[in-house]
Structure 1
Amino acid sequence: MKYSKKILVAVMVVMGLNSHAQDSNNPWAVSFGVNAVDTKTSAGGGNGWLDRHFSQPFDAKDNWNVLPSVSYISVSKYIGDNFSFGVQGSLNKIEKYVKFAPTAVGHDSRGYVVSNPGDLMYYGIDASVKYSFMSLINSKVIDPSLHVGGGYTFFGDSSYGTINPGAGLAFWFTDNLGFSLATTYKKSFGDREDANGTPDAPSHFQHTAGLTFKFGGKDTDGDGIYDKDDACPEVAGLKEFNGCPDTDGDGIQDSADACPDVFGLAALNGCPDTDGDGVADMNDACPDVFGLAALKGCPDTDGDGVADKDDKCPTVAGPKENAGCPWPDTDGDGVLDKDDKCPEVKGTVANNGCPDNAEAVMMKLNEYGRTILFDSGKASLKKQTYPTLGSITEILKEYPSSRFVVEGHTDSDGSNEMNQTLSENRAAALKNHLIENGIKADRLNSTGFGETKPIDTNKTAAGKAHNRRAEISLIKE
């Protein structure tokens, strides 16, 4: 056992070296298991070289020396193009030494004798270059290989160098764990024995069987795809996208998805099309209504080339210059000639296309308003004001699209609170009268200002009479 320390130190050194590898994803590998040593190849005899070396390759019972424990360890590193380089350390105990002795007692039918040379320990340190055929046969499980190298063997009290050709076969259970078999012919130069017939430097076969662990691959984002194969190594992704993510799960990786956070269609670069008109929502001016691509996804009901949202006559075809209507708007006031009471003069929509002479109208309404009489201290209209109210009603009817506010005012007699209430009641009374005479309620509002907005002095009876008034104002939209 004097070489045991040597082999253990050698193994520790080997584990720190660049060694035998398996693939580029996990460039490092460690293997360990049992080994068997067969010395028959150096025994001589047989019918030529092939017969001597391969006549009994699997006669484990008679020829193999096996130490029933972990008896080899190797460390490996990938060096590229299916090649790897590694170093292995092994130990064994030789209890079956094969010699060709056809005249000796106990020889077998072929003339071989198996003897026990005593407490003969075996140590080996070997380096090799291996070529894997795994990628060539396009397999992810079966990994056949060939290797060649050299080593140094401690055989009892002798030690010598060898040249080591061999072959191997691994079965990978996962990306990182496999079961490995290998056989190596260790050719020594001399195949000699000492004067007492004790083996000195025999050539031999060494077979190994054990587990192999691969490691060293880097997967920064933890998505199961090694960085060297990961197109997005900093972000967890999917295997089908080379490690890049598909956040919205629409089958289009984020880097090629114009809408990476919203499930969409491949035809629209990953963007959705809610109305199914072939225009992505992000480019669709009418995303909830089926439309035409030429109109940015908006419909054109009358087919005149003007989108409904811009068509003033969406159900009747008309030229674009007429805003989609068959009728023009000669004065350009937004009221079509067919509805324009003043088609050649620019007006307002509220006034049916005619100019809005608001100031003149309001002056006339307020002149009438000042002649509206209320009973003193009351909100009741005097009968002599009815003709005036009729004139006001007719003016309001001339502006069917306009809205007005009726304002009530009082003189200063009485308290502020009383006058405020009285003014509101008078405005409401006038509003109700107008509604009863054909003015729509939604066109009228009413409010009171009490005594806060006098137009004359409250020191004379005539001035007070002027201040007890009603005014009508146009509500400008």
Structure 2
Amino acid sequence: MKHLKKIFVAVMIVLGISSQAQDSNNPWAISFGVNAVDTKAGAAGGHNSLDRVFSQPYAVKDNWNILPSVSYLNVSRYVGDGFSFGLTGSVNKIDKFVVFDPTAAGHDSRGYIVTNPGDLSYYGIDATVKYSFMEMIGSKWFDPSAQVGGGYTFFGDASAGTVNGGLGLTFWLTENVGFNLQSTYKHSFDDGKIPNADVVSHMQHFAGITFKFGGKDTDGDGIFDKDDACPEVAGLKEFNGCPDTDGDGIQDSEDACPDVAGLAELNGCPDADGDGITDAEDDCPNEKGTKMMKGCPDTDGDGVADKDDDCPTVAGAKDNRGCPWPDRDGDGVADKDDKCPDVKGTVANNGCPEVSEEAMKKLNDYGKTILFNSGKSSFQKQTYPVLQAMTAIFKEYPNSEFSLEGHTDSDGADAMNQKLSEDRSGAVKEYLIEQGIEASRLTSKGFGESMPIDSNKTAKGKANNRRVEVKLIK
């Protein structure tokens, strides 16, 4: 008994390392408690063994042999599919032995009587194969079982082998601690029925505590390594033992932002402003924006994010920081592109006014009245007002380009007339340049007498043919 108490202390130390598990995770189990031996099943008489087992029993105190201490120890190993294999060692003292003697005083109504065979020692070592019905019935705490096996029993000075079979019931108080009850019928191979000389068939009942242990949980997360997808890192059951550091419901291995709680649709990354763009990729994480603007708003829709837009409520140009370009003359052409920013013009003419037909008619009417000294390219004095009027018209259209074309009458040689027409158109060009007209806007050429507009047979016709025409270059 002293040694059994030492075993009990050692068992309690071992159990200190146990943790929650199922049988497949914690394959080892230790049970200990008290046992009771009832010899009524082996009593000689006119009834078979089962009849004797289930007949009206004596009170427990009358025919059960019980030691008032820990009197059995069982160690078992789960092998799978509800089966486990175990060894049980038990001790007892037999001071109540049931015999069948209907003639003796003190027998019960069926002829059984309890005797004291002399406080015989009882030792049993038994191997069992047990099957648990707990998984079959779908319970997590109510665990009925059946077991078969065999063993060897020492009964006083006698000993013999037995074939065993029984039923058990365990109530699991936690996932690895349970209270168990078991009754086993041990059929002896010894045919005798004499105490201290034979080992009679008997019933042995057990009541005790069972502990499961032996599962390995490296990271201590309550999920055993064999079922833990992340055995080195503490995790959660719903993720098979893998962690979810930020607690957003997405395990770290699938979380693009494992340290910050986020959204499943964004692979676990946060989106503070709810615009569908992760904060890490959002240039404006606290303002709802668009993907085109990298998460920033664009109130006026001009393609410039409000944070970069100097005019966030008015659509403008990207190259002017989101503001519209100024247009001083209001002709729809921005000053930066308007070659006539202070004169209203047309888009087609780069913001400058189009030269009207009326203006062109005036220029050509003036051109017909330019008077040159005979045979020369110099102007007569009275023609300067005409040249000044033409200059004013040219200045009204500062972006337009013109061609000055000189013509003569038929008097004189062709070559001389050709040169004279070139010189006269060139003289008009030089005068206009001197008056502030850009040279790049003017070209001059001469056509001599080749393009008359009137007859060269009359003085009036010749006067009409001597002219400078103005053409608009488009």
> TM-score, length-normalised on structure 1?
0.60
Q: Quote the RMSD (CA, aligned, Å).
A: 3.6
Question: Could you give the per-residue CA deviations for residues 201-241 of structure 1, whole angstroms, max 9, x where no partner exists?
Answer: 31111011112222211111122222222221111223333
Which of 260, 263, 275 is residue 261 of structure 2 equivalent to?
Answer: 263
The yes-or-no answer on 1:272 pairing with 2:284 is no
The equivalent residue for 1:229 is 227
C-alpha deviation, 1:304, in angstroms: 5.2
C-alpha contact 2:154 2:199 (8 A) present in aligned 1: no
The equivalent residue for 2:33 is 33
Question: Could you give the per-residue CA deviations for residues 136-165 of structure 1, whole angstroms, max 9, x where no partner exists?
Answer: 333332222111111011112211111111
Greater Rg over alpha carbons, structure? 2
* Inter-partner Cα distance in structure 1 for 2:201 and 2:96: 14
**Aligned-partner SS, 1:293:** coil
C-alpha deviation, 1:42, in angstroms: 1.4
The equivalent residue for 2:128 is 128
Question: Which of 88-97 and 40-49 deviates more?
Answer: 40-49
Question: Could you give the per-residue CA deviations for residues 39-89 of structure 1, whole angstroms, max 9, x where no partner exists?
Answer: 111114466554322124684122211111211111111111121111011
Letter in 1 for 2:198: D
C-alpha deviation, 1:37, in angstroms: 0.5
Pair 1:185–1:22, CA change in 2 (3 A): farther
Question: Could you give the per-residue CA deviations for residues 413-463 of structure 1, whole angstroms, max 9, x where no partner exists?
Answer: xxxxxxxxxxxxxxxxxxxxxxxxxxxxxxxxxxxxxxxxxxxxxxxxxxx
C-alpha deviation, 1:305, in angstroms: 5.8
The equivalent residue for 1:104 is 104
Match runs of 1:36-75 below 5 Å: 36-45=36-45, 50-56=50-56, 59-75=59-75
C-alpha contact 2:44 2:193 (8 A) present in aligned 1: no
C-alpha contact 2:236 2:244 (8 A) present in aligned 1: yes
The equivalent residue for 1:340 is 336
* Inter-partner Cα distance in structure 1 for 2:197 and 2:96: 11
C-alpha contact 2:164 2:184 (8 A) present in aligned 1: yes
The equivalent residue for 1:137 is 137
Pair 1:224–1:103, CA change in 2 (3 A): same
Pair 1:97–1:68, CA change in 2 (3 A): same
Question: Could you give the per-residue CA deviations for residues 372-424 of structure 1, whole angstroms, max 9, x where no partner exists?
Answer: xxxxxxxxxxxxxxxxxxxxxxxxxxxxxxxxxxxxxxxxxxxxxxxxxxxxx
* Inter-partner Cα distance in structure 1 for 2:197 and 2:291: 92
Pair 1:186–1:48, CA change in 2 (3 A): closer
C-alpha contact 1:164 1:184 (8 A) present in aligned 2: yes
C-alpha deviation, 1:311, in angstroms: 6.8
Match runs of 1:245-264 below 5 Å: 245-264=243-262
Letter in 2 for 1:86: G
C-alpha contact 2:156 2:196 (8 A) present in aligned 1: no
The equivalent residue for 1:384 is none
C-alpha contact 2:260 2:269 (8 A) present in aligned 1: yes
The equivalent residue for 1:203 is 201
The equivalent residue for 1:92 is 92
Letter in 1 for 2:225: D
The equivalent residue for 1:160 is 160
The equivalent residue for 1:406 is none
The equivalent residue for 1:300 is 298
* Inter-partner Cα distance in structure 2 for 1:22 and 1:296: 51
**Aligned-partner SS, 1:228:** helix
* Inter-partner Cα distance in structure 2 for 1:185 and 1:301: 88
Match runs of 1:400-415 below 5 Å: none
Q: List runs of 5+ in structure 2 lacking aligned partners.
A: 11-20, 341-474
* Inter-partner Cα distance in structure 1 for 2:237 and 2:339: 70
Percent identical: 70
* Inter-partner Cα distance in structure 1 for 2:22 and 2:247: 35
C-alpha deviation, 1:295, in angstroms: 4.1
C-alpha contact 1:146 1:168 (8 A) present in aligned 2: yes
C-alpha contact 2:22 2:175 (8 A) present in aligned 1: no
Pair 1:47–1:192, CA change in 2 (3 A): closer
Question: Could you give the per-residue CA deviations for residues 259-287 of structure 1, whole angstroms, max 9, x where no partner exists?
Answer: 01112223322211122212211232332
C-alpha contact 1:171 1:179 (8 A) present in aligned 2: yes
Q: List runs of 5+ in structure 1 lacking aligned partners.
A: 13-20, 330-335, 345-477
C-alpha deviation, 1:325, in angstroms: 7.8
Q: How many residues align?
A: 325
**Aligned-partner SS, 1:136:** helix
C-alpha deviation, 1:180, in angstroms: 1.6
Letter in 1 for 2:250: I
Pair 1:251–1:105, CA change in 2 (3 A): same
Question: Could you give the per-residue CA deviations for residues 297-330 of structure 1, whole angstroms, max 9, x where no partner exists?
Answer: 232323356655677875445799999788799x
